[in-house]
């Protein structure tokens, strides 16, 4: 029995192993290139995408807290003047204050809701505009706009 193979001929078992390892190497190389490239592109998008100004984010968070407070008080009485008095008392007590913004105690009624706005804190070094939040009493839907 002849156990030697002619030159250049690879036995079937070794050929299937080469196919398996060849595919594994191809897939591994592809993943090794694609994953870092994908992560790099994703991080590039995060770096260049617009992010909210941190100071204004604080103002919007405070407006949201004041909005929720006003909606709870309004649900108890359905009286805008009473809500305005309660909000004024809370603002004077030091609530709804931040590092850059405070919520003004001025609550203006709108057709189906009210409008709140921010004021600059006394320790804010830079002025970043005034935030205005308009919201609906019943649904809580809101919109914020900033003016310089």
Beta bridge partners of 116: 133
Please check whether residue 136 is in contact with residue 113, taking contact to mean a CB–CB distance below 8 angstroms: yes
Same domain, 11 and 58: no
Can you tell me the distance from the alpha carbon of 74 to that of 84, in angstroms, rounded to the nearest whole number? 9
Rounded to two decimals, the pTM is 0.64
- The 3-state DSSP class for residue 92 equals helix
Q: Are residues 43 and 77 in the same domain?
A: no
Task: Note whether 25 and 41 are same-domain residues.
Answer: yes
Query: Phi and psi at residue 73, in whole multiples of 5°?
Result: -65, -40
Quick one: 99 and 114 in the same domain?
A: yes
Q: Which two tokens stand for residue 117?
A: 């706005």
Domain range for residue 132?
54-147
One domain, residues 13 and 78:
no
Boundary-marking domain end, from 10, 32, 49: 49
Q: Do residues 143 and 79 share a domain?
A: yes
Please give the tally of structural domains in the chain: 2
- Kindly report the number of other CB atoms within 10 A of residue 137's CB atom: 18
pLDDT for 36 equals 67
Asked if 54 contacts 98 with a C-beta cutoff of 8 angstroms, the reply is no
Task: Check if the beta carbon of residue 97 is closer than 8 Å to that of residue 61.
Answer: no
Residue 50: what pLDDT? 57
Residues 13 and 60 in one domain: no
What pLDDT, on the 0 to 100 scale, is given for residue 49? 47
Domain check: are 37 and 60 in the same one? no
Residues 125, 83 within the same domain: yes
Same domain, 70 and 125: yes
pLDDT tens string, the chain, 148 residues long: the values are: 555 656 666 666 666 666 777 777 767 776 676 676 666 666 666 565 455 567 899 999 999 999 999 999 999 999 999 999 999 999 999 999 998 899 999 999 999 999 999 998 877 677 788 999 999 999 999 999 999 8
Residues 14 and 58 in one domain: no
Distance CA 145, CA 148 (A): 10
């Amino acid at each position: 029995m002849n156990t030697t193979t002619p030159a250049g001929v690879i036995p079937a078992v070794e050929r299937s192993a080469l196919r398996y390892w060849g595919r594994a190497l191809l897939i591994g190389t592809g993943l090794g290139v694609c994953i870092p490239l994908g992560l790099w592109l994703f991080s590039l998008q995060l770096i260049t995408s617009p992010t909210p100004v941190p100071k204004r984010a604080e103002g919007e968070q405070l407006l949201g807290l004041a909005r929720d407070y006003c909606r709870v008080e309004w649900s108890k009485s359905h009286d805008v003047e009473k809500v305005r008095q309660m909000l004024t008392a809370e603002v004077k007590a030091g609530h709804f204050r931040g590092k850059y913004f405070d919520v003004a105690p001025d609550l203006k009624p709108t057709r189906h809701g009210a409008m709140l706005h921010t004021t600059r804190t006394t320790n804010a070094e830079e002025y970043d505009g005034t935030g205005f939040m308009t919201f609906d009493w019943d649904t809580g839907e809101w919109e914020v706009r900033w003016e310089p």
